[in-house]
């Protein structure tokens, strides 16, 4: 795949949607395109993260360790970003990501990502916006979850 | 060494000095006639005074004109003879001086190796080096002229004086009237200059010591922001040197002024007195001219004599100063390092030291009458606190320092009297930080086996051969080392092997014993191998390459991870440059960074009709780079990581882009073309994903690749080692020879997976030892700088083991290693020395349970001796140490 296609892929991702095309191009050019075989591990729960991955092709499972064994909580696909939290704050990976098929990704290292953000403020604003949206959504979900929990306990 | 330079000269070059004196005496008669002739020419040949022409000479009659020609011809011949003498004397004098200088340097150097070791606490290499290199240099010049110059120039002066006296007494006396004055004052002033010179030498020595310290302590200087202090200190030293030199200049030029003035007084008197006498008719004009000539001739020898006096004083002081520095108390005898007893003793029985007393240079006691008695086939641990004297004890046992008092014997051999040939071969010592010489790992390992040249080797290099042959007589004349450094010095017998091959095998065993084998294996993987020297290994590596690709083909998901070099296929994980060359550059001719400038490469591209394509690609790459990187700050690391264009060049490319028409790239300026052409060479399709190298271009490059080989001019044929799947590539390292391709970009963990496969293949084919052997040729850099500290220390341990000493003294040598490797290496060494002695001053006393006997040392004496169990039961102190 050529650089041009990668730029297109990146632009379809909400996080990068409003970032200036030339900067997307720089990000695409300076990132590594990485192919995983089905079953290869992108990152492991509990380990420190050093990169985020943009899925260009294929599928990846997000697996969380639970008391009853590994639990697949989501499947990510084309245009999704995985592992972006770990490159913003220094916490261990919250889940294991495993290639579910042959998987092509763009690997953006933490250094590169942070450097790009600090150099191009527009991108950090965009980043904040996307994260804020996500927070709103998560808060709503939490509220719903709490309400249903109260209902359940109230009914009992 | 002689304390006076004259004694030293006479002792070693009496014959040469006499020859020089005889030569100069022989030259004097010719000199006299050379002075006499102008008078004859003017008075007789030209003015025809006191002579009647034609003159009868050996039955030939000569008229005036012919007489003139004969006399001027004679003059010319005398000039030749005189200059001939001067030439011969100068050359012989120069050779004599150089030989003496060589002897002196050799003697000083070999003295360094006989200094008692504590001397080096006070003397730094910064002081010693300039003494042997720069400071003695002028001595060579002086030694050559020491006798002949005063004799020749003095004699010359006397001849001229004699000539002048014969001509006219008053004039002669007037010409030299002021010489006594000069001879009185100038040496006095000169003495002052010399004292200043002495001070200058010392100051420069301090200066070079400061520079040495700065280099050695550079890390501390950075850590503590001390550069200002260092600069200020240096400034202070420079200032001192400046003022010393300033005073030297003042005095020196006053001396020069006086000399010149007095010299010019001569003509003054000649013209005044001589002129008066010629007018009065008491003197022939020819005589006056000859006298003025003679006086002019006098200037040179007189100057030489005064300068000689200056140099003599200088040399005398320098010699005394240097020699003084090379005679420290306790200097060991020359015979100590030269003698080789026959039969050569083996150290066995018991090592007995009695009443060993040692104090350090401050006078504080380190050993206070220590007694030690251990069998030489047992393993002995020395334990004790820091400062208990165990450090000093190990050094005394290894014969590195002499005890102040006491005896030390191993079996029958008195170790204090034994020459170094015995102690240095039968005993080995490893300290806390050993030194690694700037050579290969192998050379460093075999360093302990090279005591004397043992076998002559055929030297192939003709120049080297003639040099060695010519130098033979010089070595005898200067008492330099009679041993030939080019011969085979390795003592296989003492290492317990019969040949270099066996020794290599043994070295590999020892490297693994000290856990350095894997490191050297890695060095070997990254080293090149000359297949002509070692065809077997090269063949093995070649089959490893086949095996490697078999394994890759056989699945395991590895197929895509390596892209092999195939002659008919474009390698998308390599640069375009590598694809075109399809080989490893051997020298500078095909520098991958500068391929576009290579005229042959240009020709190949031209003939492949690729030039326009290259310009187009260059244009595309340049526009993209300018687009992406123009806003980045110049020091941004992207320029280094991904840039085809450096930040300095970027504006230049920007300018070119604005002035070219992408439709008419052919019309660019030549230098712009070159800039554009250079860009595509660095593009790696699968890494950069620029899409500029289309399949069509790839095909053309593969075709051009063939043209490149076929038409390579003869003079470039050796400059590149082409990739050939069936041949070993001598220019590439071993790893690249097995891999024979590029690890693909864009596959997760490709390097790790390939690395694992590589080591699988190596162990499957039992190549590891062969590769370690190649690693023995790895150059370690100055002071071992290419090795880590632990690797250096392990190398020093291996060196001592390889020597197979009768007993090994170890002084906390593994302290810097991690605890687990410490224990493993210790156990390996104890196993290796089965039946021989090991005396180990332990940094970890708890490991002493592995030893037969433990010496507990405290306050410079042995406080207790026994096995681990014994001491654990009865000694409180020992219990403290192991807890």
Would you call B689 and A2 a contact, using CB atoms and an 8 Å cutoff?
yes
Interface test with chain A among B561, B630, B746, by most A beta carbons within 10 Å = B746
In this complex, is the C-beta atom of A8 within 8 Å of any C-beta atom belonging to chain B? Answer: no
Residues 63-122 (A) with a CB less than 8 A from some CB of B:
119
**Confidence label for A13 from pLDDT (cuts 50, 70 and 90):** confident
The whole-number pLDDT of residue B123 equals 84
Nearest CB to A22 within list B557, B627, B690: B627
Q: Provide the token pair at B85.
A: 């003498």
The whole-number pLDDT of residue B545 equals 92
- Alpha carbon distances (Å) from B627 to A26, A29, B645, B654, B673: 9, 12, 12, 9, 20
Number of domains in chain A: 1
Domain that holds residue B504: 451-531
> Is 0.90 surpassed by the pTM of this model?
no
| Within-domain flag for B772 | no
The string of pLDDT tens digits covering residues B368-405 is 999 999 999 999 999 998 888 899 999 999 999 999 99
Asked which of B483, B509, B531 is the last residue of a domain, the reply is B531
The string of pLDDT tens digits covering residues B607-649 is 888 888 888 898 988 888 888 888 777 777 777 777 678 888 8
Residues of A in contact with B749 (CB under 8 A): 40
Would you call B691 and A30 a contact, using CB atoms and an 8 Å cutoff?
no
Would you call B748 and A22 a contact, using CB atoms and an 8 Å cutoff?
no
| Within-domain flag for B336 | no
Q: Cβ distance B379 to B385 under 8 Å?
A: no
B392 shares a domain with B278: no
The whole-number pLDDT of residue A33 equals 83
What ipTM was estimated for this complex? 0.76
| Within-domain flag for B285 | yes
Q: What is the mean pLDDT of chain B?
A: 88
B265 shares a domain with B408: no
| Within-domain flag for B771 | no
- Report the pLDDT averaged over residues B858-883: 89
CATH number at residue B819: 3.40.50.300
Whether the per-residue pLDDT at B78 is higher than 70: the answer is: yes
Q: Provide the token pair at B783.
A: 């002071």
Q: Cβ distance B576 to B596 under 8 Å?
A: no
B516 shares a domain with B549: no
The string of pLDDT tens digits covering residues A121-133 is 777 777 787 678 7
Would you call A37 and B641 a contact, using CB atoms and an 8 Å cutoff?
no
| Within-domain flag for B543 | yes
B514 shares a domain with B578: no
Domain that holds residue A108: 3-155
B440 shares a domain with B400: yes
Nearest CB to A6 within list B632, B641, B689: B689
- CA B336 from centroid of its chain's CA atoms: 27
Residues of B in contact with A4 (CB under 8 A): 691
B385 shares a domain with B273: no
The whole-number pLDDT of residue A131 equals 76
| Within-domain flag for B846 | yes
The whole-number pLDDT of residue A60 equals 92
**CA proximity to B787, closest of B471, B445, B451:** B445
Find the residue in B nearest to A106 (Cα). Answer: B746
The string of pLDDT tens digits covering residues B784-840 is 999 999 999 999 999 999 999 999 999 999 988 998 999 999 999 999 999 999 999
The string of pLDDT tens digits covering residues B742-796 is 988 888 878 888 888 898 899 888 899 999 999 999 999 988 999 999 999 999 9
Residues of A in contact with B627 (CB under 8 A): 22, 25
Q: Going by DSSP bridges, is the β-strand pair B379-383/B837-841 parallel, antiparallel, or unpaired? A: parallel
**Confidence label for B738 from pLDDT (cuts 50, 70 and 90):** very high
CATH number at residue B230: 1.20.1560.10
% of chain A exceeding 90 in pLDDT? 4
Q: Provide the token pair at B766.
A: 């039992």
B73: which DSSP letter? H
Half-sphere exposure of B402 (CA within 13 A, CB side): 16
B474 shares a domain with B413: no
The whole-number pLDDT of residue B264 equals 78
Whether the per-residue pLDDT at B851 is higher than 70: the answer is: yes
Asked which of B733, B765, B797 is the last residue of a domain, the reply is B765
CATH number at residue A151: 2.60.120.10
Angle at B27 between CA B26 and CA B29, to 5 degrees: 90
Angle at B206 between CA B203 and CA B212, to 5 degrees: 145
Residue B108: strand, helix, or coil: helix
Asked which of B765, B795, B822 is the last residue of a domain, the reply is B765
Residues 33-52 (A) with a CB less than 8 A from some CB of B:
33-37, 40, 42
In this complex, is the C-beta atom of B642 within 8 Å of any C-beta atom belonging to chain A? Answer: yes
Whether the per-residue pLDDT at B260 is higher than 60: the answer is: yes
Residues of A in contact with B691 (CB under 8 A): 2-4
**Confidence label for B842 from pLDDT (cuts 50, 70 and 90):** very high
Radius of gyration of chain A (CA): 17
B121 shares a domain with B153: yes
| Within-domain flag for B330 | no
| Within-domain flag for B626 | yes
Would you call B691 and A4 a contact, using CB atoms and an 8 Å cutoff?
yes
The string of pLDDT tens digits covering residues B454-503 is 998 888 889 998 999 999 999 999 999 999 888 999 999 989 999 988 99
B455 shares a domain with B440: no
The whole-number pLDDT of residue A155 equals 55
Would you call A3 and B689 a contact, using CB atoms and an 8 Å cutoff?
yes
Residues of B in contact with A37 (CB under 8 A): 557, 748
Number of domains in chain B: 4
The whole-number pLDDT of residue A154 equals 66
Q: Cβ distance B798 to B513 under 8 Å?
A: yes
B107 shares a domain with B43: yes
B419 shares a domain with B542: no
B161 shares a domain with B293: yes
Q: Cβ distance B650 to B625 under 8 Å?
A: yes
Question: In this predicted model, which residue has the larger pLDDT, B823 or A155?
Answer: B823
**Confidence label for B233 from pLDDT (cuts 50, 70 and 90):** very high
Q: Phi and psi (nearest 5°) for B168?
A: -165, 120
């Amino acid at each position: 795949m050529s650089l041009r296609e990668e730029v297109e892929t990146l632009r379809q991702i909400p996080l990068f949607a409003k970032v200036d095309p030339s900067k997307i191009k720089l990000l695409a050019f300076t990132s590594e395109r990485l192919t995983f075989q089905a079953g290869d591990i992108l990152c492991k729960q509990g380990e420190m993260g050093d990169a985020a991955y943009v899925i260009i092709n294929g599928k990846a499972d997000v697996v969380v360790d639970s008391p009853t064994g590994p639990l697949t909580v989501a499947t990510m696909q084309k245009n999704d970003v995985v592992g972006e939290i770990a490159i913003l704050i220094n916490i261990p990976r919250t889940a294991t990501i495993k290639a579910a098929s042959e998987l092509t990704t763009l690997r953006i290292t933490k250094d590169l990502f942070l450097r790009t953000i600090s150099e191009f403020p527009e991108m950090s604003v965009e980043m904040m916006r996307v994260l804020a949206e996500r927070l709103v959504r998560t808060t709503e979900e939490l509220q719903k979850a709490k309400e249903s929990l109260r209902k359940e306990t109230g009914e009992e | 060494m002689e304390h006076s330079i004259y004694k030293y000269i006479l002792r070693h070059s009496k014959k040469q000095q006499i020859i020089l004196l005889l030569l100069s005496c022989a030259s004097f008669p010719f000199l006299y006639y050379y002075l006499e002739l102008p008078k004859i020419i003017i008075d007789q040949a030209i003015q025809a005074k006191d002579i009647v022409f034609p003159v009868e000479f050996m039955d030939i009659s000569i008229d005036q004109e012919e007489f003139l020609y004969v006399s001027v011809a004679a003059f010319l011949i005398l000039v030749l003879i005189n200059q001939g003498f001067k030439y011969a004397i100068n050359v012989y004098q120069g050779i004599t001086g150089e030989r003496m200088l060589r002897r002196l340097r050799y003697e000083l150097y070999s003295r360094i190796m006989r200094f008692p070791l504590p001397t080096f606490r006070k003397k730094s290499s910064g002081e010693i080096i300039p003494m042997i290199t720069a400071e003695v240099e002028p001595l060579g010049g002086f030694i050559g002229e020491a006798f002949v110059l005063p004799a020749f120039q003095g004699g010359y002066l006397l001849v001229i004086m004699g000539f002048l006296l014969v001509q006219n007494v008053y004039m002669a006396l007037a010409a030299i009237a002021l010489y006594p004055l000069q001879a009185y004052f100038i040496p006095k002033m000169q003495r002052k200059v010399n004292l200043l010179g002495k001070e200058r030498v010392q100051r420069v020595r301090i200066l070079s010591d400061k520079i040495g310290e700065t280099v050695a302590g550079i890390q501390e200087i950075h850590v503590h922001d001390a550069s200002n202090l260092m600069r200020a200190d240096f400034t202070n030293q420079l200032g001192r040197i400046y003022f010393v030199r300033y005073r030297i200049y003042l005095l020196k030029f006053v001396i020069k002024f006086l000399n010149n003035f007095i010299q010019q007084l001569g003509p003054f008197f000649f013209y005044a007195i001589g002129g008066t006498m010629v007018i009065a008719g008491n003197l022939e004009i020819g005589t006056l001219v000859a006298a003025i000539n003679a006086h002019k001739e006098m200037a040179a020898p007189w100057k030489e004599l005064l300068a000689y006096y200056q140099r003599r004083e200088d040399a005398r002081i320098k010699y005394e100063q240097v020699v003084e520095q090379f005679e420290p108390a306790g200097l060991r005898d020359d015979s100590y390092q030269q003698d080789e007893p026959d039969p050569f003793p083996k150290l066995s029985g018991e090592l007995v030291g009695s009443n060993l007393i040692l104090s350090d240079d401050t006078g504080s006691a380190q050993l206070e009458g220590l007694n030690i008695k251990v069998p030489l086939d047992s393993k002995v641990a020395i334990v004790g606190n820091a400062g208990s004297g165990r450090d000093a004890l190990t050094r005394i046992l290894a014969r590195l320092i002499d005890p102040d008092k006491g005896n030390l014997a191993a079996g029958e051999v008195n170790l204090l009297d034994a020459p170094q040939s015995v102690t240095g071969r039968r005993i080995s010592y490893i300290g806390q930080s050993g030194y690694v010489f700037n050579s290969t790992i192998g050379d460093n390992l075999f360093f302990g086996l090279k005591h004397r040249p043992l076998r002559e080797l055929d030297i192939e290099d003709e120049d080297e051969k003639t040099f060695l042959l010519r130098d033979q007589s010089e070595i005898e004349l200067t008492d330099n080392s009679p041993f030939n450094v080019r011969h085979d010095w390795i003592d296989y017998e003492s290492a317990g092997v019969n040949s270099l091959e066996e020794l290599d095998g043994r070295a590999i065993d020892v490297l693994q014993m000290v856990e350095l084998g894997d490191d050297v294996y890695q060095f070997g993987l990254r080293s090149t191998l000359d297949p002509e020297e070692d065809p077997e290994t090269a063949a093995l590596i070649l089959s490893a390459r086949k095996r490697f690709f078999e394994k890759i083909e056989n699945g395991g998901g590895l197929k895509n991870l390596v892209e092999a070099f195939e002659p008919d296929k474009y390698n998308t994980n390599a640069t375009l440059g590598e694809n075109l060359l399809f080989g490893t550059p051997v020298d500078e001719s095909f520098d991958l960074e500068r391929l576009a400038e290579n005229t042959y490469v240009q020709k190949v591209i031209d003939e492949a009709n690729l030039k326009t394509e290259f310009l187009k690609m260059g244009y595309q790459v340049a526009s993209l780079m300018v687009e992406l990187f123009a806003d980045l700050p110049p020091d941004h690391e992207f320029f280094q990581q991904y840039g085809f264009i450096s930040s300095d060049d970027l504006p230049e490319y920007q300018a070119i882009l604005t002035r070219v028409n992408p439709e008419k790239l052919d019309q660019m300026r030549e230098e712009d073309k070159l800039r554009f052409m250079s860009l595509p060479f660095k593009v790696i399709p699968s890494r950069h994903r620029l899409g500029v190298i289309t399949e069509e271009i790839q095909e053309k490059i593969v075709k051009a690749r063939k043209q490149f080989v076929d038409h390579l001019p003869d003079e470039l044929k050796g400059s590149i080692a082409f990739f050939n799947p069936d041949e070993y590539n001598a220019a590439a390292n071993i790893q690249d020879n097995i891999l024979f391709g590029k690890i693909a970009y864009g596959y997760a963990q490709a390097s790790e997976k390939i690395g694992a496969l590589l080591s699988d293949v190596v162990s499957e084919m039992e190549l590891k030892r062969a590769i370690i052997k190649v690693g023995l040729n790895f150059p370690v850099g100055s002071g071992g700088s290419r090795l880590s500290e632990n690797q250096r220390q392990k190398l020093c341990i291996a060196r001592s083991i390889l020597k197979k000493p009768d007993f090994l003294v170890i002084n906390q040598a593994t302290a810097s290693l991690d605890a687990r490797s410490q224990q493993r290496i210790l156990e390996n060494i104890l196993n290796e020395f089965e039946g021989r002695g090991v005396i180990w001053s332990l940094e970890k006393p708890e490991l002493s349970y592995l030893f037969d006997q433990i010496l507990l040392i405290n306050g410079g004496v042995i406080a207790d001796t026994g096995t681990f169990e014994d001491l654990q039961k009865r000694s409180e102190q020992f219990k403290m140490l192991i807890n």
